[in-house]
Amino acid sequence: MTIYKLLYSTRYIYIFQKMEVLLIIKIIIGLGVLVGLYAILRNLDIIKIILIYFKDKLLGK
């Protein structure tokens, strides 16, 4: 194996490792978004109450 082939294959290994890390990061971010949306949907009524409270507080009712 020549040095050129070794460097060429090493570069591809580095690119694949980098792509795997990016895939793992995308999966973690996707799961975080799903959990966040689930938490918001579960507490939507509480969020509405808080928003109504702040609206009343700002308008001076």
Would you kindly state where each structural domain of the chain is located, as residue ranges? 3-59
Percent of the chain having pLDDT more than 70? 72
What per-residue confidence (pLDDT) applies to 5?
62
**For residue range 24-36, what is the model confidence (pLDDT) as tens digits?**
999 999 999 999 9
Tokens 């591809």 map to which residue?
A: 12
DSSP 61: -
Could you tell me if 25 and 32 are in contact, meaning their C-beta atoms sit under 8 angstroms apart? no
CB neighbours of 47 closer than 8 A, spacing ≥ 6? 40
pTM: 0.57
